[in-house]
Structure 1
Amino acid sequence: MNEVLKKWGFPIDRMFLAAGPCSAESREQLMECAGALAGKGISFFRAGIWKPRTRPGSFEGVGLKGLAWMDEVRAETGLKIGTEVAEPAHVEACLEYGLDILWVGARTSTNPFSVQAIADALRGTDIPVLVKNPMSADVGLWMGAVERIANAGITRLGVIHRGFSSELEMRYRNAPGWKTPIELKRRMPELPIICDPSHICGKRALIPSIAQEALDLLFDGLMLEVHPDPDHAFSDSAQQFTPTQFFELIEKLNLPHEQSDSAMFTQRLHELREQVDGLDSQLLDVLSKRMDIVRKMGEIKTAQNVSTFQPGRWKEIVEDRVRKGAGLELSEDFILQVMQSIHEESIRQQEIRRVDDSC
């Protein structure tokens, strides 16, 4: 997919890389950061000009003067430049300054009205546009945002995965939720997909492992926040690298191949995949038998006017399966996801029977 990105006109060394500060703060800050990144394989220099903040009173970006600084960065360093847009006025200003790439942020891609307004402002241009995932793990909503931009005539189009908001306490600022970008890639295989580990992690120390995981999942590149003095950044200081730290990380990242030329590897992988296919068939057979039993349970419940959902029983199942899973070296999160999916389907099967019986 990097071949697609090269055709967009972006330089690519080891991988597609967007780097720069979370926010443009001053001309001097941008020039210092860009000077440290220039000539070292950066695909484009990123900086936030308008910052959507949760609460008023926080630093919300420098606005239009930041675009003039970015234009100067490009003239002085030769770096391509890009920023986030959230409304038509942003798009119009960026087009006036001739930015090389734009992206639609997560807060904006969540709202179809906002995305459509941006799409309308982009109509008649073909600037490259990246669409970040919505705040929630809704692949349909993400696809819809991409489709709205595509319908405006934008052909150089890609996506950015930056994780998903959650009310639960967790290690990361935003849950990685890899299954959603993987599903998007399955449905829209032509789209380049970039990972934004900075916003997933929220902390520098966590970024290397998430960046490597993204590359292991064949993401097409990374967007990382880099600041000449992260500890004094106006926004998101904890998740930004110094230029030196950034290049140290990039050098350590491994770029896996999708295939191998080794005949021995290919044969062994084929054998193991056949075993997996056989076990998956058994799993499906067992699940089918489980649903047969579930439907019979639904008939009994319906006859006695008993609720489909049984909270006490569900609690017992979860505790038992998590405990057994731990003994089989299966993570609690994995077991919970599997059992929740099975439970949802079980309820659906019982409800179908309940509705049929009432008709």
Structure 2
Amino acid sequence: MKNTLEITPLKSWLDTGDKPLIIAGPCSAETEEQLVSTAHLLANTGKVNILRAGIWKPRTRPGEFEGIGSIGLEWLKRAKEETGLLTATEVATAKHVEEALAAGVDVLWVGARSTANPFTVQEIADALQGVDVPVFVKNPVNPDLSLWIGALERINRAGIKKLGAIHRGFSSYEKTAFRNEPMWDLAIQLKTACPNLPIINDPSHICGNRELLPYIAQKAMDMDMQGLIIESHIDPSVAWTDAKQQVTPAALAELINHLTLRKADSNNPSFEDKLAELRSNIDKLDDLIIQKIGERMKIAEKIGEYKRDNNVTILQVNRWDEIVQKRTKLAEALSLGSEFATKFLELIHNESIRKQNAVMNSQEQPTAEA
């Protein structure tokens, strides 16, 4: 996917030195005292660059707390004046954009629900025309890389060059330990497609609980993300929204203190030489794997011909179950994750089915080169 984004580097508008960008604050601005007191505690940690707070909250069902509304912008302004922290909030309509900018909010972000709707994103983009403000775009609720990039492009074409992405995980039917599945591969694909785009991680929404935050935050740093956006409340036990995933400012400081920060590159020539050697070995193995998969698919085509000639269905459930059981055991013996092995086998199986289906429904016999 071609990268068409024109990006101003993060450090040109907010230089955090060799430390990650940290955006923190309550999920929702609830009261003036709650927001300002939390802001002071966060500022006192010396770890936070930007204060975040939800002013308008798009809830799944009506009747739930949907944000304090515009009055909260005045509280953000006061918090900024008293602490010196920059401020950030989510916008979901053109009116939100106008009110937030009028109140002096420094950074805006587009939420996951909004990113999923190109009409909403375009409305926000139109309201940002001619404005010089940093904007972050969260990934859409569902795992759709094109939708994520499309939202970034719409904001970028409105003239926003101080642009970034927020990886907050994706909805999944599978129940796991996470509120939203990280699906790191999609974040990696975004980094590959848009290498100059700053990407920060939202462990709060990925985890859904504070116990897993350190694990995801460290993983994000190891994936070379530029920062974190974490929900922090003066007293999470009484938070009006997402109480389980918020942490106190003190707990946030402790989490950040325990992060291991690694460099993206090394200036050590011997390290680079050894790394190049190991990568060369991987390249050779990757080529061999692709060749072997190609050979496997040739055999799958022959099986398709044999099934066609004998009027047998493509899918053989018992055979598939046998493959999964045997190969996953082998994968575990080789210290490969069972989830990886199952997904890999499913991809191979789906391609085999596709090949056999093409053979069965073609008028001509496939050639060796097909």
- Using the size of structure 2 for normalisation, the TM-score is 0.92
In the alignment, which residue of structure 1 is the partner of 2:3? none
Does the 8 A contact of 2:232 with 2:248 survive in 1? yes
Question: 2:336 & 2:16 partners in 1: Cα distance?
Answer: 42
Aligned with 1:163: secondary structure?
Answer: coil
In the alignment, which residue of structure 2 is the partner of 1:15? 20
In the alignment, which residue of structure 2 is the partner of 1:178? 184
**1:33 correspondence with 2:33:** no
Aligned with 1:357: secondary structure?
Answer: coil
Counterpart amino acid of residue 25 in structure 2: G
Question: 2:96 & 2:125 partners in 1: Cα distance?
Answer: 12
In the alignment, which residue of structure 1 is the partner of 2:110? 104
In the alignment, which residue of structure 1 is the partner of 2:127? 121
Counterpart amino acid of residue 288 in structure 2: Q
Which of 24, 43, 49 is equivalent to 2:29?
A: 24
In the alignment, which residue of structure 2 is the partner of 1:5? 10
Aligned with 2:228: secondary structure?
Answer: strand
Higher deviation after alignment, 121-130 or 58-67 = 121-130
Which structure 2 residues correspond to residues 5-154 of structure 1 after superposition, within 5 A? 5-9=10-14, 11=16, 14-38=19-43, 40-154=46-160
Aligned with 1:60: secondary structure?
Answer: coil
Deviation at 1:13, TM superposition (A): 6.4
Deviation at 1:355, TM superposition (A): 4.4
In the alignment, which residue of structure 2 is the partner of 1:207? 213
Higher deviation after alignment, 96-105 or 303-312 = 303-312
- Name stretches of at least 5 consecutive residues in structure 1 with no aligned partner: none
Question: 1:124 & 1:264 partners in 2: Cα distance?
Answer: 49
Higher deviation after alignment, 297-306 or 317-326 = 297-306
Does the 8 A contact of 2:169 with 2:180 survive in 1? yes
* Cα shift readout 1:213-252 (whole Å, capped 9, x = no counterpart): 1110100111111111011111111111111111111111
Question: 2:234 & 2:357 partners in 1: Cα distance?
Answer: 58
Question: 1:236 & 1:5 partners in 2: Cα distance?
Answer: 29
Question: 1:351 & 1:129 partners in 2: Cα distance?
Answer: 47
Deviation at 1:312, TM superposition (A): 3.1
Give the count of matched residue pairs.
Answer: 358
* Cα shift readout 1:247-292 (whole Å, capped 9, x = no counterpart): 1111110111122233332232222222212211211111110111
Question: 2:312 & 2:96 partners in 1: Cα distance?
Answer: 56
Counterpart amino acid of residue 283 in structure 2: D
Question: 1:273 & 1:11 partners in 2: Cα distance?
Answer: 32
Question: 1:256 & 1:10 partners in 2: Cα distance?
Answer: 18
* Cα shift readout 1:64-85 (whole Å, capped 9, x = no counterpart): 1111111111111111101111
Classify 1:86/1:3 alpha carbon distance in 2 versus 1 (closer, same or farther; 3 Å).
closer
RMSD in angstroms over aligned alpha carbons? Answer: 1.9
**1:220 correspondence with 2:226:** yes
- Name stretches of at least 5 consecutive residues in structure 2 with no aligned partner: 1-6, 366-370
**1:188 correspondence with 2:190:** no
Deviation at 1:306, TM superposition (A): 3.7
Higher deviation after alignment, 310-319 or 94-103 = 310-319
In the alignment, which residue of structure 2 is the partner of 1:342? 348
Does the 8 A contact of 2:8 with 2:163 survive in 1? no
* Cα shift readout 1:181-226 (whole Å, capped 9, x = no counterpart): 0001101112100000111111111110110111101001111111
Deviation at 1:3, TM superposition (A): 9.0
Question: 1:3 & 1:110 partners in 2: Cα distance?
Answer: 25
Does the 8 A contact of 1:12 with 1:43 survive in 2? no
Does the 8 A contact of 1:29 with 1:228 survive in 2? yes
Does the 8 A contact of 1:106 with 1:133 survive in 2? yes
Question: 2:270 & 2:17 partners in 1: Cα distance?
Answer: 32
Question: 2:258 & 2:202 partners in 1: Cα distance?
Answer: 17
Which of 246, 252, 256 is equivalent to 2:252?
A: 246
**1:323 correspondence with 2:329:** yes
**1:158 correspondence with 2:164:** yes
In the alignment, which residue of structure 2 is the partner of 1:276? 282
Does the 8 A contact of 1:132 with 1:161 survive in 2? yes
Classify 1:332/1:43 alpha carbon distance in 2 versus 1 (closer, same or farther; 3 Å).
same
* Cα shift readout 1:87-113 (whole Å, capped 9, x = no counterpart): 222112112212111111111111112
Question: 2:150 & 2:33 partners in 1: Cα distance?
Answer: 39
Does the 8 A contact of 2:308 with 2:360 survive in 1? yes
